[in-house]
Structure 1
């Protein structure tokens, strides 16, 4: 059963990647931009350092991405009230374009979730949260090993 679940998770990753690619193309973004915008959308205003830690995008790459996203009016920058040297990044009204792109899939997922009994929904939510944690830990471990190999 574990092998089946791993296969299904990998298939889901691919299908979500395809959906993200199509949505990015529709609104004139690069697929990786969606990671940046999704973090801002879900977590709220944040710093570039926070975005780098949540997305794995290197600071130098992130700087260029943020400049482009700001120029295209996807985000705004303001001075971080806690650290005047850093920027606070926020979403703009353009995020409605992304929400519209995901609306059909989101609605289908809502219907699917509504068809499940509450205990099943809770179990699935807990499982998916754990899968996310496992992926994050594996990513952090690979990043640490990569840094150790470079030193």
Structure 2
């Protein structure tokens, strides 16, 4: 197996294992697995509008409206008016995010142990590589987005 094939395989295995962990966390939290994508974007990007979420996740606005209403009703998100544009809503994480962090704690702890076992240089390089892989995936996802209305 070439070095490029080996890296591709490692990324594939990581993607699969992360999807499985996320699906199990979603089940444990009583969420739909793709709800975590939305909640993660809000947690990572900070308070944002439904338009931002639609652009970032690829969900159509009509679909996203129902999902966001349910997440607000179930206490995962807080919806208020956007201070930059009073005509739109702003979504922020609620205190329930602590529940998700608790479910992810074993993975976070194991990742921290791995990080401490690496040299400073290796940790830095690994983080760079993972960010590069994430950027590749983000660019690729915009290339394969279906046209609006599908």
Please state whether the residue corresponding to 1:30 is helix, strand or coil.
Answer: coil
Partner residue of 1:9?
11
Instruction: Return structure 1 stretches of 4+ with deviation > 3 angstroms.
Output: none
Separation in structure 2 between the aligned mates of residue 95 and residue 44 of structure 1, nearest angstrom: 13
Please state whether the residue corresponding to 1:86 is helix, strand or coil.
Answer: strand
Q: TM-score, normalised by structure 2?
A: 0.93
Q: How many residues are matched? A: 147
Partner residue of 1:60?
62
Partner residue of 1:147?
147
Q: 2:48 aligns with which of 46, 49, 53?
A: 46
Q: 1:124 aligns with which of 118, 123, 126?
A: 126
Q: Give the aligned CA root-mean-square deviation in angstroms.
A: 1.4
Separation in structure 2 between the aligned mates of residue 134 and residue 27 of structure 1, nearest angstrom: 30
> Gapped runs of 5+ residues in structure 1?
none
Pair 1:114 & 2:122 matched = no
Q: Cα distance, 1:147 vs. partner? A: 2.9
Q: Cα distance, 1:85 vs. partner? A: 1.4
> Gapped runs of 5+ residues in structure 2?
none
Pair 1:98 & 2:114 matched = no
